[in-house]
Amino acid sequence: MAISVTASHVAESYDSGNMKADVSDIIFNIDPSETPLLSNMGTRDVANTTFEWNVEDLPSSGVTNKKKEGADFTSEAVTQVTRKTNVTQISSRNATVTGTMTAVSQYGKQSEMAHQMMLVSKALKLDIDKAIGSHNKQEAGAGDQASSSERQTQSLTHQISRGNNVVVKDSGGTTVPSSDTGAYTEGSGAESLTETFFVDVAEKIYENGGKLDSVICTPAVKREISDFTGRGGTQVIVDETKVTSNVTLFASDFGNVKVMISRNLDTYGSSGAGGCDLLFVDFSMAKVAFLRPFTRQNIAKQGDSDSEQILAEWGVQLSNPDSAGVRHNLSNTYS
C-alpha cells in the first residue's frame, strides 16, 4: 500500500543549516605573472651598488688598406675601451599575517604566510620586469634613509636608447636621453607599426654589428606583426591538430627574430599619447646584475602578527647598446 509522508517530516538539503560548504581546495588566480625580460636576461653578481663593464668597437675598416713593398712600419691608433656604469636599486614586497589567521584552518591554504609570500614574490618579479622595460633613468640617490631619493637603475630601454639603433616618429616623436641620467622628452602622435618601421630598426642593428635575436612587444603590436606581408617567410610551430596565428619566428632580411609578447610594457607621454616601445634585444648581451638575490627575510615581531618581506638589490647591464634597438612611439591599439 502507498505510504504518505508529510514534507515537513522529511530531512531535505533545502532546510539544513548545518551542511559543510563544498569549497574547492584550489584557489583560482588568473593574475598575469609572465616576466619575459627578467626571465630571458642572463645574470651576474656584483659587489657594489655601482657596477661597471667595458665596451669596445672594432677599428674603422675601409677599401684603401694597401702597402708598398718594403714599406716602413707606421704605428696605428689603439682602440680604447669605453667604461659603462649603472647602479643597483632595492626592490621589495612584504606581507603581515595576524596570529589568528596563522592559527585558523582555511580552504586551499596550508599556511597563510606562505600563500601571501607566494603572491608578493610574483608581484615583485612583475615590478622588476616592468622597471627593466621602462624609461627609468639612472639615479644615484641621496644615500640616507631619511631622504626621499632612492637609487634607481638605468632601465634596459634607457640604455638601448643611448645606442645607435633608435627610430622615433619623424615629427612630434620622443626625444631620447643624452646621458645615462637624462630623462626622455616623451612625444605624442603614436603611429601604428608597419613592416617598414620594423625593418628600419633591424637594418640599423645589422649595420652596427649587432645580431638580431628577439623583439618584445605589447599584445596590440604583436597583432600588427602577425599582419606583415612577409609572413610567408615566418615560421609558425604547429601540429596537425592545431590552427594558430601566433608568430614564433619572423624571418627578416637581417636575421630570424623571435617575437615575444609582454603585458608589462607601458604606454607613455600625456595620457599614453606617446604610444609604446618595440624592443629588439640580444639576450646574450643583456644581464640582471644582483648585489643581493631574491631573499626572504623575517621582520621583527610587533604585537600579535608576523611580517616577512622578499627583497632583491639589482641593476641592468646592456653589454653593448648597439646589440639592441628600439622603435618608439608605436600605437598600442591594433588597427
Using one digit for the tens of pLDDT, what is the confidence trace for 170-179? Answer: 888 899 999 9
The answer to whether residue 239 sits within a structural domain is yes
pLDDT at 231: 54
Of the listed ranges 74-78, 289-293, 314-318, the one predicted with least confidence: 74-78
In a domain, 63, yes or no: no
Q: Does any domain span residue 67?
A: no
Q: Is residue 5 in some structural domain?
A: no
Which residues 6+ apart lie within 8 Å of 236 measured at CB? 244, 245, 246, 247, 248, 249
In a domain, 40, yes or no: yes
Count of structural domains, the chain? 1
3 state DSSP class of 69? coil
CA distance 333 to 219: 9
Q: Residue 313, class by beta-carbon neighbours within 10 Å (0-12 exposed, 13-18 middle, 19+ buried)?
A: buried
- Domain residues for 231? 36-53+82-141+149-330
The answer to whether residue 92 sits within a structural domain is yes
Question: 117 by DSSP, 3-state: which?
Answer: helix
Lowest mean pLDDT among 52-56, 203-207, 230-234, 291-295: 230-234
Is the pLDDT reported for residue 41 higher than 90?
A: yes
- pLDDT value at position 244? 47
- How much is the pLDDT for 162? 92
Query: Residue 298 domain-assigned?
Result: yes
Mean pLDDT value across the chain: 84
pLDDT for 324: 95
Q: What is the CATH number of the domain that holds 95?
A: 3.90.1690
Q: In the predicted model, is pLDDT for residue 149 greater than 50?
A: yes
Q: Domain for residue 319, yes or no?
A: yes
Nearest to 156 by CA among 305, 30, 41, 299: 41
Instruction: Report the percent of the chain where pLDDT is more than 90.
Output: 52
